[in-house]
Amino acid sequence: MNYKYPIKKLSIIYSFYRSFLVFSTFISFWCLYLFYENGVSILRNLIWFKIATLALTYYFINEFKGKEYYYYQNLGISKLVLWTSTLLFDFLLMIFFIFLISQFK
């Protein structure tokens, strides 16, 4: 299904992202707090921690909600597009906030 409106496609991707939004937001805020408290010296560890938690999220969603991919495939969005867009958005959002914290600290 080819979407004429990209907003519709984004709303479908967001509905997938909601399944792990709370967990991911909690991890991001925790990383941001640690960055604020410790500064740049902890940045490399925080990035690896975030990547590891994203990998765990991927594993658990595939393990426990794997059948939901059929719903998104029927709407014309592949598993690769779902994961690439949500994980990239989540990671880049954390990097953006780290940049903001480093500018205003």
Q: Does 61 have pLDDT greater than 90?
A: yes
Nearest to 91 by CA among 37, 32, 36, 41: 32
- What is the CB neighbour count within 10 angstroms for residue 72? 17
Asked whether the beta carbons of 79 and 72 are under 8 A apart, the reply is yes
Q: How confident is the model at residue 91 (pLDDT cuts 50, 70, 90)?
A: very high
pTM: predicted TM-score of the whole model, two decimal places: 0.83
Distances (CA, A) of 18 to 13, 37, 42, 51: 9, 29, 29, 18
- Give the whole-number percent of the chain exceeding pLDDT 90: 83
The H or E element spanning position 56 is: helix 43-64
